[in-house]
Chain A
Amino acid sequence: MNILYKHIMAIASKEAKHIKRDIFTLSVALVLPMVFVVFFGFIINLDYHHIPLLVRDNDQSHTSRELLMQASAAGYFDIIAVHTPLEADRELLGNRMRGLLIIPHGFHKTFTNGDIAHAQLLIDGTDNTMAALATTYMQGILQATQESILSSYESPSAAIRTRYLFNPELNSRWFIVPALSTIIIGFLAIILTALTVAREWENGSMELLLSTPLRPVEIVVGKLLPYFALAFFDVLLVFALALLVFHIPFHGNFVLYLTACLFYIMGALALGLLISVITRQQQSAIQFGFAIGLLPSFMFSGFIFPIENMPTFFQYLTMLFPQRWFLQISRALFLSGASLIDLIIPFIALFLFMIGMITLAVQKFKTDVEP
């Protein structure tokens, strides 16, 4: 018995009718990726500016004033003077201020005498990224102050010159937009199919479907196809937006990108379907869909937390998530124009994921059907 194209198309057109009937779901699936990528691509940002910082200037000297001027000019800090330690404590504990800079008495004198003068920075470490950045910024500000006062540039490190390849201006949009589209489309793909089979079981129409001469492979592939068309349309739309609205360069091969999209979307849709086949119940299907699709794609894709920084075990664990591979391909193709040979591992991984998910869904489906 071979797989009949006619059967697949019959299932696909039945599923397409389901999609068309539910206008709300259809419009969310079509519009959401576009709107979210544009909107969040514009407004979210990983940089920290305007960190509210308290300052206690016990020195009131030329040097300390210069330091404060440099600090407010840099744009990283919003500086507010504070007079008593009690007040500073209250502001820090009440989350209104992020840190306190103390310039001790005699700061200017020590410095002009040619000794090393210390300023003290107390910083709220609850947000560790912010704390680390604020310290680095403040060090830069102290250096700038020293240089401007001595006005003799004692050869700041001209010896080393850094070049950032692929994103020379470190534009954070180039970094966020491909990642955002990976996460949103992947998540959408998983949950779109997560309900399809479960709903049929709940409504009792599954028995009808099973009594037809259709084979499990045909049902699975037929169910995936219309959703694939939907998600693929989203991908093209988001791709166009990345180029036209955000002016992100695309250096790679477009066919290669489309192939990666095909593997990624098919894999994610099949994962959703697998969830549906296993749970057989909409409520728990959605639970698992969200559990697997939502937070892990933020945490394990390498979007915010680079995979390379994770402990070894988790570097392997993240390999199970297609988001990781697609994000790697997407970033590389957009920004560095990598070739297939450079990206062979992520491509193989995505392909295996897709095949594996479809096979598992079909297998599980079979065991359900044949008691």
Chain B
Amino acid sequence: MIHKRIIRGLIRKEFIQIFRDPKMIAAILFVPIMQLTLFGLALTSEVKNIEMLIVSKPSAIAREVQTRAVASGWFKQVHHVDGANVLDPTSLLTTYKAEAVLVAPSEGFEYALERQNKPIQLLINATNAQRAQQVNAYVSQILARVAANHGYQLSGPMRLTLDTRILFNPQMSTTSFMVPALLVMTSFIILMIVGSMAITKEKEMGTMEKLISSPASTADILLGKALPYFFIGIGVVTLMLCVGVFGFGISYRGTIWQFALNGIALAACALSMATLISTIANTQQQAMMGGVLILLPAILLSGVFFPVANIPAEFRWLCYCNPLMYACTNFRNIILKGGDYPFFWQYFSILLGMAIVLSASAYKNFKQKLN
């Protein structure tokens, strides 16, 4: 049974409670926007500031590699160490004086390139395995180019070549990739937390009994509690889209109603999950721990940081149970690719289905506890 008047009253009460505390407003509105802005500005996947040292007797090639490396913008000069008289190049890495060391044999680069029986060595600090591979590619590329300038061919001429065209994100910008994901994650986190706190707080304070003994039905209480945060959630998501599009200049290719529908499904999913947690937890502390239990895996398995296709097949179903995965992929599909309809409807309906199942079980759980 749903009473419109009661729900309206509950919503008003909840909004008064939220707006009474300026810290809450800051947490709900300011934090997501700030996070999006900071992360959007900070994150790039382009490798920069590689501290590389060339260990070789002074030669034209050594100088040219150095100049080219610095000019490329990927590398940073290593000061205080003279490459011409380093005895143990490995120690430069173990003492963290350099990230990569290019070591010519004692006869110099020219000899190595001519004879090929004494190779040039490239030592890379691989504590970050990903970055090490990129560093390797950059250094090899620069060295090959310098060698070619001096008339040495490092590899045979390539006669099969590749013309690459990058679709949908031609600058390959990390920001374009991350903004849809950040939008989903920050709003999901906020809604999960505030939503689950809202009900457990009443339980902890003992005001829940008063609410229950009032003529309000279970549906009234749950809706009255969830709806204010639902509206806030929609507002936050919209605000973040504006930051992404107007602030970061991401080209929005989909339609607005697709974005709106997906945003509604996301907010509904987050809040019904929050409500479910709060029907189980008795204190805010427990609700928070429940949130941790769900949010950490949801972020790790969202396919944003680690590709879904590479998770072992027997655990991949976990990704397919993860609302964040659907929301992130669908928002990216809408914003960057124009929101292909069959794909959009598929992911949207799964997300909505999850929200319905979650809210139904929250409702049932809440009712059972009452009786």
Contact = CB atoms under 8 A, between A and B. Distances in A.
A234 to B, nearest CB: 13
Nearest to B165: A122
Interface in B175-190: 176-177, 182, 185-186, 189-190
Contacts of A93: 337-338, 340, 343
B120 A128 contact: no
A67 B96 CA distance: 42
Interface string A335-356: 1111001110000000000000
B132 A157 contact: no
Nearest to A315: B49
Most buried by B among A117, A120, A156, A162: A162
Given A165-B124, A290-B193, A188 B45 contact: no
Contact of B159 (A115, A125, A136): A115
Interface of A: 22, 24-25, 28-29, 32, 36, 40, 42-51, 63, 67, 90, 92-95, 111, 114-132, 135-136, 138-139, 142-143, 145-147, 153-168, 170-172, 174-175, 184, 187-188, 191, 195, 199, 202, 279, 281-284, 286-291, 294-296, 298-300, 302, 304-306, 308-311, 314, 317-318, 331-332, 335-338, 341-343
B106 to A, nearest CB: 16
Nearest to A345: B96
Nearest to B120: A160
A162 B177 contact: no
A338 B169 CA distance: 41
A25 B120 CA distance: 56
B122 A336 contact: no
Contacts of A311: 41-42, 44
Nearest to B166: A125
Given A49-B310, A118-B161, A188-B292, 16 more contacts: A43-B312, A45-B306, A45-B310, A129-B174, A132-B45, A132-B172, A142-B160, A155-B156, A156-B156, A159-B112, A159-B119, A160-B121, A172-B130, A281-B21, A294-B295, A317-B38
Interface string B271-299: 00000000001011110110111011101
Contacts, number: 347
A123 B165 CA distance: 6
Interface secondary structure of B, over-half rule: helix
A6 to B, nearest CB: 28
B154 A191 contact: no
B159 A117 contact: yes
B132 A167 contact: yes
B8 interface: no
B155 A305 contact: no
B122 A338 contact: no
B336 interface: yes
Interface of B: 21, 23-24, 27-28, 31, 35, 38-39, 41-50, 90, 93-96, 112-113, 116, 119-133, 136-137, 140, 143-144, 147, 152, 154-170, 172-174, 176-177, 182, 185-186, 189-190, 193-194, 197-198, 201, 204-205, 281, 283-286, 288-289, 291-293, 295-297, 299-301, 305-307, 309-312, 315, 329, 332-333, 336-338, 340, 342-343
B90 A124 contact: no
Contacts of A117: 159-161
B258 to A, nearest CB: 13
Contacts of A290: 189, 193, 291, 295
A296 B224 CA distance: 32
B272 to A, nearest CB: 19
A136 B166 contact: no
B167 A111 contact: no
Contacts of B47: 306, 308-309
A122 B121 CA distance: 35
A166 B122 contact: no
25 contacts: A28-B289, A32-B293, A45-B306, A46-B130, A49-B309, A93-B340, A120-B164, A126-B169, A128-B174, A128-B177, A138-B162, A155-B155, A161-B120, A162-B121, A174-B129, A283-B24, A283-B198, A284-B23, A286-B197, A286-B288, A295-B189, A306-B47, A317-B42, A331-B127, A332-B127
Contact of B160 (A24, A119, A121): A119
Nearest to B34: A291
A93 B340 CA distance: 6
A28 B329 contact: no
Most buried by A among B41, B182, B296: B296
B86 to A, nearest CB: 15
Contact of A310 (B43, B155, B157): B43
A158 B119 contact: yes
Most buried by B among A22, A174, A291: A291
Contact of B309 (A48, A187, A195): A48
Most buried by A among B131, B152, B289, B301: B289
Contacts of B133: 170
A265 B286 CA distance: 21
B319 to A, nearest CB: 10
B343 A157 contact: no
Contacts of A287: 24, 27-28, 31, 190, 193-194
A125 B124 contact: no
Contacts of A121: 162-165
Given A128-B173, A135-B164, A342-B95, A143 B158 contact: yes
Given A146-B158, A157-B140, A287-B24, A336 B94 contact: yes
B128 A36 contact: no
B42 A305 contact: yes
A309 B46 contact: yes
A78 B294 CA distance: 32
Given A120-B163, A305-B43, A305-B44, A165 B126 contact: yes
B252 to A, nearest CB: 13
B240 to A, nearest CB: 13
B306 A46 contact: yes
B124 A195 contact: no
B284 A195 contact: yes
Nearest to B30: A291
A175 B306 contact: no
B301 to A, nearest CB: 8
A309 B48 contact: yes
A332 B43 CA distance: 23
Nearest to A302: B128
B94 to A, nearest CB: 6
A130 B337 CA distance: 16
A318 B39 CA distance: 11
Contact of A167 (B23, B126, B201, B338): B126
